Structure 1
Amino acid sequence: MAHDTASAARTAVAPQLDLDAYLARISWSGERRADADTLRSLHRAHLRGIPFENVQALLGSAPSLALPDLEAKLVRGRRGGYCFEHNTLFAAVLEAFGFGVTRLAARVRVGGGSAIRPRTHMLLLVEVAGEDGGSYLADVGFGAVGGLYEAIPLVPETEARDGVRRHRLLREPHHGLEDLWVLQAFQDGEWADQYAFNREPYEPADFEVINWHIATNPRSPFSHTLYAQRTTAETHLALSGRTLVETYADGTREERSLAEEPGGAVDTEEAIRLLSEEFGIELPPGTRLPAARRTSGS
């Protein structure tokens, strides 16, 4: 009975999804099988096909996580989203393929030093059956250059070269029911923590609360700073506020700053052109990006 309960928690009933439209959006074609090669291929195609952005939160409201709204925005619209949108959509896709999916939450460690942050990042634990089976970590919505390019096996102490990136998972002692899993990326010649998590399942209702907090809390960076990312096989393009950084496969970077309007706002005309041409993000006509709000922390 305990096993049946765990299985039910791990795999939700897949909602209605226009899978053909999604696969066209990410330019993926192939045999629809629930195996490891397909999981990795879908992961890569999603990252390359749908950009990361937080414009809706920046404009003052939490984005909807309802599947029809995610399809309208990320699949049929020329838009992107942040972790809750990307991974909610990707979980529905994987379940439609026949994978078992557990929705998890992580504490982000990038740029945080030793501070313990709340669990505000959504990621996925994917079960793959067959001879290449096992548990895989999938995450198509991490807003940093250290994010996964491909899903990787949930195996500690093993380095995974997922595309042009290098990652590994470590176990870390914790006072909870199980030790933590820590995702690290190899950056600037050393391993750097990206986030920490355990395998406790989170439900859609949990992410509705976290999503609202991240989008509307004035202390959240997503509510006051423009973020956008686009991943290709060779580069990672990231916009944070007025700073645009392009990171290449060999780790070298190019950086430049966008123009600024009086009052501290990013120059809307330049930003909208950049989002369209470089990130593939088309904002609604008349969109005005607000000035960055100064906060005491995030």
Structure 2
Amino acid sequence: MWHGEQLDLEAYLDRLGYEGERDPSLETLRALHRAHVLSVRWDNLDSFLHQSVSLDLADLQAKLVRRGRGGYCYEHATLYAAALERMGFRFTAVSGRVQLGAEKILPATHAMLLVDIDGRRWLSDIGYGGSPLAPIELVEGEAGNEVTIEGRPFLLRRTEITPGADGWALHQPDGRGGWMVRHNFTENPQYPVDYQLGNHFIATSDHSPFNRRLFIQRIRPERTDRLDGLTWTMHAATNTGAEPDEKRTVQPQELPGLLSGTFGLALSEREAELVVAKMEAHDPRP
């Protein structure tokens, strides 16, 4: 279904710097998940620059694997699903609604996988940007599953996520000592055609923020860097407060160097030129 037979698995694993086992075990899933999150960036450059994002596996391999670029959740999840399928894992693709404090119901435009291993289920969410560095087990019961992964706390629990719909909510610290829903999801299976639909909305719709603003993230074990428009912030892994450890406004001309350096994105010369030109045109400062 996810065209794992078409994946150049050796090239993908080399991109991740992964040299571990390839059996469909929990240990392999944890290692592969972590390697993917740390190696493949989250960026919306194609949506922002071109309002066009391909989910064709050949295009994803050319972009994310061979060119060293990043992508957003639909690209990450489609490539990752092909790898898991090729390696023999059993999983279900799902869609989630990103909340982050929003009161209204937002569209289900976040892609992730639920992986089944020995009767246990794991949320493997590798395409969020600041994704957890390990899968999180789905645990029934009111308390849910509270975990700290390399200094970063998360809470995953079953709950009513929209009126009349039961599902799961992944929480993160709200910066005030409590929890905030990062995203929620049902277990309704999604297929490549469903991801194509959501991807089209994100890349092209006037209601999507990702084709109107530049947004890039990079997670390391010790820190997470974010670029939102021309605002760059850095949060240490242990910072659960509302304020970043560092924050500054950058000039459009600084972006190619910042993206290739701090964010580790391999941009073509044309992409670098387009980013500067478009951000100069969108720069709200006088």
* Contact preservation (8 Å) 2:152, 2:238: no
Residue correspondences, number: 269
In terms of fraction of residues, the more helix-rich structure is 2
Instruction: Choose which of 190, 193, 214 in structure 1 pairs with 2:181.
Output: 193
Gaps of 5+ in 1: 1-10, 260-266
Could you tell me how far apart the structure 2 residues matched to 1:204 and 1:108 are? 20
Aligned twin of 2:200: 212
User: Which one of 221, 224, 229 corresponds to residue 236 of structure 1?
Assistant: 224
- What pairs up with 1:48-63 in 2 under 5 angstroms? 48-63=38-53
Q: In the alignment, is residue 87 of structure 1 matched against residue 77 of structure 2?
A: yes
What is residue 3 of structure 1 aligned with on the other side?
Answer: none
Q: Is residue 136 from structure 1 mapped to residue 122 from structure 2 by the alignment?
A: yes
Q: Which runs of 4+ in 1 moved over 4 A?
A: none
> Residue 6 of structure 1 aligns with which residue?
none
The DSSP-based 3-state class of the residue aligned with 1:193 is strand
Whether 2:163 is the aligned partner of 1:184: answer no
Of 151, 158, 165, 1:171 maps to 158
CA deviation vs aligned residue, 1:174-196 (integer Å, no higher than 9, x gap): 555x6121011134232110011
For structure 2, which runs of at least 5 residues remain unmatched after alignment?
none
1:253 to 218, 222, 245: 245
Give 1:37 shift: 1.6
Q: For 1:170 and 1:104, locate their aligned partners in 2 and report how far apart those are by CA, in whole Å.
A: 16
2: CA distance between counterparts of 1:98 and 1:160?
Answer: 27
Indicate which of 148, 152, 156 corresponds to 2:136: 152
Deviation at 1:73, TM superposition (A): 0.4
SS of alignment partner, residue 72 of structure 1:
helix
Structure 1 residue 95: Cα displacement: 1.3
- The CA RMSD measured in Å over matched residues stands at 1.8
Q: Distance in 2 between matches of 1:223 and 1:12?
A: 26
1:167 to partner: Cα distance: 1.1
The CA distance in 2 between the partners of 1:164 and 1:88, in whole Å, is 28
Matching residue's letter, 1:271: L
Aligned amino acid, residue 21 of structure 2: E
Pick one of 220, 223, 237 that aligns with 2:211. 223
* Partners of 2:2 and 2:56 in 1: CA distance: 14
How has the CA–CA distance of structure 1 residues 292 and 202 changed in structure 2, closer, same or farther, with 3 Å as cutoff? farther
Letter of the structure 2 residue corresponding to residue 153 of structure 1 = E
When normalised by structure 2's length, the TM-score is 0.89
Q: Once the 2 structures are TM-superposed, how far is the Cα of residue 12 of structure 1 from its aligned partner?
A: 5.3
What is the DSSP-based 3-state SS (H/G/I as helix, E as strand, rest coil) of the residue aligned with 1:233?
coil
Q: By how many angstroms is 1:275 displaced?
A: 0.5
